Amino acid sequence: MQIEEMRLDGNAAGGVLRDVFAHDMTAAIATCEGCGKMGPIGALLDYAHGMGVVLRCPTCDMPVLRIARMHGQFRLDLSGIRWLTIPESTSPDRTDAMT
């Protein structure tokens, strides 16, 4: 199979994107781009403000995840995350996997 035959547009990833973002993200494990510390999103330090939240690394204080809510949209800045690992067992559709 040629590489051109495998290429689709982003709509083809709609199913997996829906699976990924349907999880309880506080259980997802983020690796800080600043210091490499790995830990659950729920353990980051939350600096909430009017337009959204800034979640900072508890070790190096780098902004790991920024979420702004404006004009009917969410805008995410994930540049402080080296890796984001989301356990499949936290999906609301996968409650069978949690038992």
Binding mask 62-81 for Zn ion (x = CB under 5 A): x-------------------
- Assess 41 for contact with Zn ion (CB under 5 A): no
Residue 28 burial (CB count, 10 A): 18
Q: Are strands 29-32 and 73-77 parallel, antiparallel or unpaired?
A: unpaired
CA separation for the pair 35, 92 (Å, rounded): 32
- Assess 39 for contact with Zn ion (CB under 5 A): no
- Residue 21 or 47: the one with the smaller Cβ distance to Zn ion is 47
Residues forming contacts to Zn ion in the complex (CB under 5 A) are 32, 34-35, 37, 57, 59-60, 62
